[in-house]
Structure 1
Amino acid sequence: MKNTQIQDNMMNFKFIIVGDSGVGKSCMLIRYSKNDFVTDYNATIGVEFQSKIVKINDASVKLQIWDTAGQESFRSIVKSFYKKTVGVLLVYNIANKESFQSIKHWLTEAKENSEESAIFVLVGAQSDREKDRKISREEAEQFQKANQIDLFFEVSSKNNSFIDECFEKTAYAAFMKQVNQQLKKSFQGSSFISNNGNIRSHNQSVPIKEQSRRSSNKSGCC
């Protein structure tokens, strides 16, 4: 009975991973969800799905992660999977210039089709291929800033480098955005909630645990 109640109260976050074919999207998902690395993985046909439960503050959150095909022939199918997405991972290969140039397209498509409150994350995959690097970290950071992308990571599924951080910090950012949205509803018109959703009091951020506690007391969402 207790486990059923926990499942009923669990928050569900939908993530979608997009980018050109062959950049390493599926390998990222397999490494994160199964802690495995596959060298001969076939190209994704349409979309594939994995899930994982994480703890954020005192809340249990189920991440529903959709891995999408990068081929042009599947673009129309992929568009339908942006609905209700709270996290969009825009993936390129650091050793493939064309895959980085395509991110602008993927970002435009994602913004047109995903939720307005979605967190956007720029991900440079295959960071273990440093000798083959075509896109510098500085170039990617400039792109992130210019396009107001929330987060940026360079990851390696092969070395299991920053994979967990990428997904879980995205989940944390989405979680805090949900908390802030609930607080906005509870404190409509309050001067200490800034335009970007951060909670301010005398120019100081309210501690994260305090944010979570207020959300729990006021909205009952967590």
Structure 2
Amino acid sequence: MNIADLRKSYEKAELSESASQADPLKQFDQWLTEAIHSEVPEPNAMTLATVGSDLRPSTRVVLIKGYDEQGIVWYTNYQSQKGRELAGNPYAALQFHWVELERVVRIEGLVEKVSDAESDEYFKSRPLDSRIGAWASPQSEVIESRTVLVTNAAKYGAQFLLQPPRPPHWGGYRLKPDNWQFWQGRKSRLHDRLRYTLQGDGGWLRERLAP
């Protein structure tokens, strides 16, 4: 099999200016809701791109945990690679790819930590093993073997029992969008691509981009 010969014709839907929302958050809400109702695998999964002090970009998949007019929220270890990179450069990009719907959403903007109260509230809602895992994993650090994680989990499980507190190095981030792009696959590679750019008055400029 020649990987260069793998091709797909995108023919499921279209994205027109007249049928799209003037507010990108409403358009995102519409598409995410449709992805959830369509039961695509992990519709809440998004790729997060950050840039380190060496100017090398890096990506990883995280899960969206909330969104509103303030921005897009996810939670992680602040001492991880992404946490360190965001501390040095607070601008990042997110991407959702709903393959079955032939759709992509790209979001760019400034990232800030959510409040301690928000992080505490979400942490308490997590399953117990996930709360213990936040203590057990020195995320992005080199470890000798998986035994390190298992041992840490046992240690913190015994220490905190059923009420592990939120680790001080763990919490939420919020990306405040200033640029959105919505991509809908179309036949003959003539895809629909709409960009929304934040304006000085708080409104959004919607433009069509060539695919």
* TM category, shorter: under 0.3
Superposition TM-score, scaled by structure 1 size = 0.21
Q: Point out the structure with max Rg over C-alpha.
A: 2
Specify which structure has the higher proportion of helix: 1
Q: Which has the higher contact order (CA 8 A, sep 6+)?
A: 2
Specify which structure has the higher proportion of strand: 2
